[in-house]
Amino acid sequence: MHRILKKHFGFDGFLPFQEDIIADVLQKKDVLVVLPTGAGKSLCYQLPALEFPGTAIVISPLIALMRDQVSALERKGISAAYLNSSQGIRESREVKQKVLDGKVKLLYVAPERIMKDGFLDFLSDVPVSFVAIDEAHCISEWGHDFRPEYRKLGELRREFPGIPFIALTATATKKVKEDIKKQLRFLDYAEHMGSFDRKNLNYTVLPKQNSYYHILSYLEDHPKSAGIIYCHSRNSTEKMAADLLSDGIDAVPYHAGLSQKERTENQESFQKGGARVIVATIAFGMGIDKRDIRFVIHYDMPKNLEGYYQETGRAGRDGKPSDCVLFFNYGDKMKHEFFINQMKNQDRAAVAQYQLEKMVDFCTSSDCRRKTILAYFGEGYPKDNCGACDICNF
The secondary structure of 203-269 as a DSSP string is EEEEESSSHHHHHHHHHHHSTT-EEEEE-SSHHHHHHHHHHHHHTT--EEEE-TTS-HHHHHHHHHH
Residues 238 and 314 in one domain: yes
Query: How many Cβ atoms sit within 10 Å of the Cβ of residue 315?
Result: 29
Residues 182 and 231 in one domain: no
Residues 83 and 29 in one domain: yes
**Number of separate domains in the chain:** 2
Percent of the chain scoring above 70 in pLDDT: 99
Mean pLDDT for 69-91 is 90
> Whole-angstrom Cα distance, residue 237 to residue 299?
10
Taking only the tens place, the pLDDT of each residue in 269-302 is 998 889 999 999 987 766 577 889 999 999 999 9
Residues 146 and 173 in one domain: yes
For residue 376, give Cα distances in angstroms to 138, 196, 205, 255, 285.
18, 10, 17, 29, 22
pLDDT of residue 171: 87
Residues 168 and 243 in one domain: no
Residues 66 and 177 in one domain: yes
Q: Is the pLDDT of residue 88 over 90?
A: no
Residues 135 and 284 in one domain: no
In a domain, 28, yes or no: yes
For residue 206, give Cα distances in angstroms to 132, 218, 239, 365, 390.
39, 13, 21, 12, 9
Query: How many Cβ atoms sit within 10 Å of the Cβ of residue 111?
Result: 22
Of 59, 109, 105, 57, the closest CA to residue 82 belongs to: 109
* 363, β-bridge pairs: none
Of the candidates 159, 193, 227, which is a domain's last residue? 193
Q: What angle do CA 242, 243, 248 make, to 5 degrees?
A: 95
Residues 150 and 86 in one domain: yes
pLDDT of residue 286: 63
In a domain, 164, yes or no: yes
* Start-end of H helices in the chain: 2-4, 18-26, 43-51, 63-75, 89-100, 111-114, 119-123, 148-151, 156-159, 174-183, 211-221, 234-246, 260-271, 305-312, 330-341, 346-364, 369-376
Q: Is the pLDDT of residue 119 over 80?
A: yes
Residues 209 and 136 in one domain: no
pLDDT of residue 77: 92
Task: Provide CB contacts within 8 A for 213, sequence distance 6+.
Answer: none
> Whole-angstrom Cα distance, residue 271 to residue 292?
9
pLDDT of residue 285: 65
Residues 155 and 268 in one domain: no
Backbone angles phi and psi of 127, in degrees to 5 = -75, 95
In a domain, 188, yes or no: yes
At 345, which CATH number? 3.40.50.300
Of the candidates 193, 218, 234, which is a domain's last residue? 193
In a domain, 389, yes or no: no
Residues 12 and 156 in one domain: yes
Residues 219 and 176 in one domain: no
Domain of 115, in residue numbers: 2-193
Q: Is the pLDDT of residue 390 over 70?
A: yes
In a domain, 42, yes or no: yes
Amino acid identity of residue 208, one-letter, is: K
In a domain, 17, yes or no: yes
pLDDT of residue 90: 92
pLDDT of residue 366: 94
Taking only the tens place, the pLDDT of each residue in 181-224 is 999 999 889 999 999 999 999 999 999 999 999 999 999 999 99
Of the candidates 193, 219, 245, which is a domain's last residue? 193
pLDDT of residue 348: 87
Q: Is the pLDDT of residue 337 over 90?
A: yes
In a domain, 266, yes or no: yes
Q: How does the average pLDDT of the chain come out, rounded?
A: 92
